[in-house]
Amino acid sequence: MKNLKGVLALVAVVVLISTSFYAMQRAFQPQPQWLQGQIEARQYQISSKVAGRLEQLHVRRGDQVSAGELLYRIDSPELEARFNQAQAGVSAADAMREEADAGARKQQIQAAYDDWQRAQAAQDLAEATYERIQALFDEGVMSRQKRDEAYAQFQAAQHQSSAANALYEMAQEGARSETRQAAQGQADAAKAQLAEVKAVLEDMQIRAPRSGEISQVLLHQGELVPQGFPVMTLIDMEDAWALFQVREDRLAGLEEGKTLSLYLPALDQSHDFTVAYRAVQGEFATWRATESGKDYDLRTFEVELRPTAPIAGLRAGMTVLFEAP
């Protein structure tokens, strides 16, 4: 009995010594250093260049949308009035251009021709009258005053006939080239203004710039939308990455292009990520003094890692862990 107690005491001492040795060994062994980051994803603020009232809202928070899908529509009576005004301006400018290209109407040309013929007839009559009076003057029957009056009437009739002929030829030629060019320029300017209003009207129909998920809806149907105000946020999980804030003494093993296995607690899975980007943070970032006695501080770097393959169930904001070497 006495020997048994001695053996048990010896075993207890051995166990105590072994446990103490194991605890001391574990205490002096380096512990794993876990770096914590989070999943980020590309976000798009969906806004419009047009101010108005939110007339139709086709999506809700959490909806999956495809590129080009209609998200919402803005109503703006003022812009529609501008569009109608621009259309009327194009019609008026086209009519003026067509009038300049077509020249004078047939009735105007005919009237100018008739005026010329009437002036020509008056010229012929004045010429014949002058010739008769000149003959009588040569015979001494008619006075010089009468002959001079007949000559003046003949000259006036000639000038009237020449002016009527010029008006007739101008009516035949139509508008001047400068007038036609000016009319064409006004028509082009009116069409450009209409195209501008059309482009703004198309921006009243807001569509998804790419596929993704609606993460936020800030305004609702019937509310006023200021110009450029983001109505909703689109998040693209196909463009996601893991973001870490790493002190520079722990950057070893995080070289750009290196592939690492990161753990996602929310999915209880590990996936491969590739280091894509490293950059020092600004002066406001965390600094820490060294503990080795050297006189310098440690800066904080931003490290971005992108998944090597799509990850099902990945969400922005998830925690991601990496065991630093």
Instruction: Give the per-residue pLDDT at 173.
Output: 59
Instruction: Give the per-residue pLDDT at 65.
Output: 93
Q: DSSP of 26-57, one letter per residue?
A: HHHSPPPEEEEEEEEEEEEEE--SS-EEEEEE
Tokens of 114: 């008739």
What pLDDT digit, counting tens, does each position of 15-62 carry?
A: 677 676 656 655 555 556 788 999 999 999 998 888 888 888 989 998
Instruction: Tell me the three state secondary structure of residue 274.
Output: strand
Q: DSSP of 90-118, one letter per residue?
A: HHHHHHHHHHHHH-S-HHHHHHHHHHHHH
Residue type at position 226: P
The tally of CA atoms less than 13 A away on the side-chain side of residue 243 is 13
Its pTM stands at 0.57
Instruction: Give the per-residue pLDDT at 271.
Output: 93
Give pLDDT < 50 ranges for the chain: 175
How far apart CA 66 and CA 212 sit, in angstroms, is 7
Residue of 66, 96, 56, 111 whose CA lies nearest to 225: 56
Which residues are bridge partners to 205 per DSSP?
73
How far apart CA 94 and CA 184 sit, in angstroms, is 8
Residue 218 main-chain phi, psi, to 5 deg: -90, -25
Residue of 312, 224, 228 whose CA lies nearest to 264: 312
